[in-house]
RNA sequence: UGCGGGGUGGAGCAGUUGGUAGCUCGUUGGGCUCAUAACCCAAAGGUCGAAGGUUCGAAUCCUUCCCCCGCUACCA
């Protein structure tokens, strides 16, 4: 038995001052698809998600509601946890940045940074007391805060800074060489041009007063609290117990899983992940993550999702209306993994009808009905006829392409290949007319071959859709009479034509994807 | 201002060594009847944002222009 290869992947941790929207669901689903696929491949997967609770915005939101910050944060984080459950996300842990081990780990990371990379300096800025935030000249409207219509104060404060400028050349080299790989290429180029334009040091702390005594204390300086990004990014290692005494053990999570194989993030936060984060790790002598997968955003009818515009889609409502599997399928196949995409109910319903009801669901239904009419068990198949060879070759090719697309985070294209298999089976039925073969006892052998090919093809389709629609895949397996859990089957067996044994009793069941109510 | 991405039949997309423009959905016509009024076949539909250039030949290379979007730092 060879040692399992480890695979560590993460989502970004959202700040929790608002309800989760469809964009976060998209990120959860994509990351989950990667995680489930890697488990199917046999990897020892650790899938982390979590919540960023140390942002000053949480303090403000709590004040606005008149409740303690800790209470607000716990409540709002609960909504994100609820969403991961409703989406049936298979995360192995959920890190909250209010956890003490996160504070300890963040402080450890700070302390591990080279002393010459962190320095204290006076910072001067235009500060709006109402917003509790600094503004740049360009953000002001007529010299006033756009929110409160009043001129900001010139505030001077001493903060810690990180010497990002020290890392410009190294970061450029690491990214250009793909040692730190950024997918897709466009994001890599974007960040490279940013780095080449010159990196400036950035502030990594706030005064405790300004931070409202909320956040992670700077080690050795009680007057300062970490700038939220510094601690937020460190969640990727603190969740693995970095900073705890036990982390030094060879059997610890940190030793086992770090560095991350992929951080899944939205395009809006690429800079923090492609520049700040690796620089911090370099300074602290911690290995770098291997890949950043940067996804695009979901627009609503061409308009950015925005609460103020009322253009938000609540993923939980979608799940209530269409079901988790459908939402996961739609997001995986039709929201572009790299570019921004539009979300529309029309497209969602159209793909449901075309791909799921008329496609996969109907194929399963007609196939199992025919098997039930012909004895109800999986017949002996495989006479090596020309058509069977063609179907087998097609599925082999589908698996190959699917693996490549999944490795490139091209989930939609991977699913396109899967549906090629579905379409091929429908065509196969039309060509061989099993209902006619059934009328002629002399052609029983042919009939059995046709039915076996259908059942075996469906079995393969189930294993291919499993990362995206785990419950549907499992249900197809059950109806085919398979008892061994799908998840326990090795990838090499999933790919092997002929895994399905004859004699299993099938169960047609109700339509997998019934017509949507008008 | 600068850098980058996009502009392909009704919709969503593919198309990087230049060589008669593809896919899925939708539409229309036909076929089949095992199936969730599902399935199969066929057809219609595009001067590939605009103009110019290179070339025997360009969606694909060059130039200019138009439209949309992203980034242009301490912003979850």
Residue at the smallest CA–C1' distance to nucleotide B35: A366
Return the structure tokens found at A65.
């509601």
Into which CATH architecture does domain A6-322 fall?
3-Layer(aba) Sandwich (3.40)
Return all residues near A46 (Cβ < 8 A) that are at least 6 apart. A6, A7, A8, A9, A92, A93, A240, A253, A256, A257
Across all strands, nucleotide nearest A423 (CA–C1'): B39
Name the E strands within A165-248: 181-183, 202-203, 205-207, 217-218, 221-226
**A332 pLDDT band (50/70/90 cuts)?**
very high
Residue with CA nearest C1' of nucleotide B12: A334
**CA A197 / C1′ B72 distance in Å:** 10
Q: How far is the CA of A87 from the C1' of B26 (A)?
A: 30
- Whether residue A304 is predicted with pLDDT greater than 70 in this model: the reply is no
In terms of phi and psi (left: phi > 0; alpha: psi -120 to 50; beta: otherwise), the region of A302 is: left
State, as a whole number of angstroms, the distance between the CA of A368 and the C1' of B66: 56
CB A71 within 8 A of CB A187: no
CB A517 within 8 A of CB A357: no
Dist CA A176 CA A163 (whole Å):
21
Name the closest nucleotide to A123, judged by C1' and CA. B74
Q: Stated in angstroms, how far is A341 CA from B50 C1'?
A: 26
Closest-lying nucleotide for A435 based on CA to C1': B34
Please say whether the beta carbons of A497 and A392 come within 8 A: yes
Pairwise CA distance, residues A209 & A218, whole Å: 13
Across the range A348-359, mean pLDDT stands at 93
φ, ψ of residue A345 in degrees (nearest 5): -65, -35
pLDDT value at residue A469: 97
Q: Please report, rounded to whole angstroms, the spatial distance between the CA atom of protein residue A60 and the C1' atom of nucleotide B32.
A: 66
Helices A69-86 and A315-322: crossing angle, nearest 10°? 30
Smallest CA–C1' separation from A508, nucleotide: B35
User: Could you give the angle at which helices A22-40 and A69-86 cross, rounded to 10 degrees?
Assistant: 50
| Whole-number average pLDDT of chain A | 88
Q: Specify the pLDDT at position A2.
A: 61
Locate the DSSP E strands across A313-445: 341-343
Could you tell me the residue ranges of all domains in chain A? 6-322, 346-495
Phi and psi at A245, nearest 5°, equal -60, -35
Tokens 């291997």 label which residue?
Answer: A290
Residue A134: strand, helix, or coil: strand
CB A147 within 8 A of CB A191: no
In angstroms, the CA of A363 and the C1' of B39 are apart by: 9
Q: Please tell me which residue lies nearest to nucleotide B24, judged from CA to C1'.
A: A416
First to last CA, chain A: 54
Q: Residue A10 has what pLDDT?
A: 95
Q: Which nucleotide is nearest to A136 (CA to C1')?
A: B74
With beta carbons less than 8 A apart as the criterion, state whether A325 and A469 touch: yes
Distance A269 CA to B1 C1' (A): 25
Per-residue model confidence as pLDDT tens digits over A422-435: 999 999 999 999 99
Q: Which CATH superfamily is domain A346-495 in?
A: Isoleucyl-tRNA Synthetase; Domain 1 (1.10.730.10)
Higher pLDDT, A308 or A186: A186
Here the tokens at position A514 are 């019934």
pLDDT single digits (tens) A134-182: 666 655 555 666 555 666 777 778 889 999 988 988 998 898 888 999 8
- Predicted pLDDT of residue A128: 65
The predicted pLDDT at position A305 comes to: 59
**Highest-confidence range of A10-19, A148-157, A196-205, A489-498, by mean pLDDT?**
A489-498
Q: How far is the CA of A186 from the C1' of B53 (A)?
A: 29
pLDDT of residue A308: 52
Across A258-274, average pLDDT = 91
Residues in chain A: 518
User: Which H or E run includes A101?
Assistant: helix A100-112
Q: Quick check: ipTM above 0.90?
A: no
Q: For chain B, which bases have at least one atom within 7 A of a protein Cβ?
A: 3-5, 11-14, 23-26, 31-41, 69-76
Predicted local confidence at residue A356, as pLDDT? 96
Q: In what order do the strands lie in the sheet with A221-226?
A: A205-207, A221-226, A217-218
Q: What Rg value do the Cα atoms of chain A yield, rounded? A: 27
Q: How distant, in Å, are the alpha carbons of A56, A145, A216, A341 from that of A137? A: 22, 10, 29, 33
Strand, helix or coil at A105?
helix
Gap from A354 CA to B10 C1', Å = 17
pLDDT for A415-466, tens place per residue? Answer: 999 999 999 999 999 999 999 998 888 888 889 999 999 999 999 999 999 9
Decide: pTM greater than 0.90: yes
What separation in angstroms does the CA of A374 have from each of A125, A336, A435, A438, A439?
79, 43, 10, 7, 10
Nucleotide nearest to A370 (CA to C1'): B34
């Amino acid at each position: 038995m060879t040692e399992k290869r480890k695979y560590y992947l993460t989502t970004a941790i959202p700040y929790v001052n608002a309800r989760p929207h469809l964009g976060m669901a998209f990120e959860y689903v994509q990351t989950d698809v990667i995680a489930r696929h890697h488990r199917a491949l046999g990897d020892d997967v650790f899938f982390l998600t979590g919540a960023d609770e140390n942002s000053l915005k949480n303090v403000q939101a709590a004040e606005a509601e008149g409740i303690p910050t800790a209470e607000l944060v716990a409540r709002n984080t609960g909504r994100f946890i609820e969403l991961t459950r409703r989406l049936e996300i298979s995360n192995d842990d959920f890190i909250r940045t209010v956890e003490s081990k996160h504070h300890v780990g963040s402080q450890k990371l700070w302390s591990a940074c080279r002393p010459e990379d962190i320095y204290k300096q006076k910072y001067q800025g235009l500060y709006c007391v109402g917003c509790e935030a600094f503004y740049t000249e360009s953000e002001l409207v007529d010299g006033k805060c756009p929110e409160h219509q009043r001129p900001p104060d010139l505030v001077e404060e001493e903060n810690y800074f990180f010497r990002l400028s020290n890392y410009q050349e190294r970061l450029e080299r690491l990214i250009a060489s793909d040692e730190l790989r950024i997918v897709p290429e466009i994001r890599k180029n974007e960040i490279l041009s940013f780095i080449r334009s010159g990196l400036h040091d950035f502030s990594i702390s706030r005064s405790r007063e300004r931070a409202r005594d909320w956040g992670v204390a700077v080690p050795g300086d009680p007057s300062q609290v970490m700038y939220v990004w510094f601690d937020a990014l460190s969640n990727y290692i603190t969740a693995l117990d970095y900073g705890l005494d036990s982390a030094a053990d060879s059997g610890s999570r940190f030793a086992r899983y770090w560095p991350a194989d992929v951080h899944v993030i939205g395009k809006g936060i690429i800079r923090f992940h492609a520049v700040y984060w690796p620089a911090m790790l370099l300074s602290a002598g911690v290995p770098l993550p291997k890949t950043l997968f940067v996804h695009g955003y979901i627009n609503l009818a061409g308009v950015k999702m925005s609460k103020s515009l009322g253009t938000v889609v609540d993923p939980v409502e979608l799940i209530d209306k269409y079901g988790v599997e459908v939402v996961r399928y739609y997001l995986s196949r039709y929201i572009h993994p790299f570019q921004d995409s539009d979300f529309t109910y029309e497209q969602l319903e159209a793909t449901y009808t075309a791909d799921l009801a008329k496609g996969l669901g109907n194929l399963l239904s007609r196939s199992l009905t025919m098997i039930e009419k012909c004895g109800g068990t999986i017949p002996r198949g495989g006479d090596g006829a020309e058509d069977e060879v063609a179907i087998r070759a097609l599925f082999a090719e589908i698996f190959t392409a699917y693996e490549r697309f999944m490795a490139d985070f091209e989930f939609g294209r991977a699913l396109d290949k899967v549906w090629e298999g579905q379409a091929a089976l429908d065509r196969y039925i039309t060509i061989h007319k099993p209902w006619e073969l059934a009328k002629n006892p002399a052609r029983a052998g042919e009939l059995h071959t046709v039915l076996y090919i259908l059942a075996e093809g469906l079995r393969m389709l189930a294993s291919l859709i499993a990362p995206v629609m785990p419950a549907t895949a499992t249900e197809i397996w059950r109806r085919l009479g398979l008892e061994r859990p799908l998840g326990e089957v090795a990838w090499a067996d999933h790919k092997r034509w002929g895994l399905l044994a004859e004699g299993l009793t099938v169960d047609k069941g109700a339509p997998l994807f019934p017509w949507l109510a008008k």
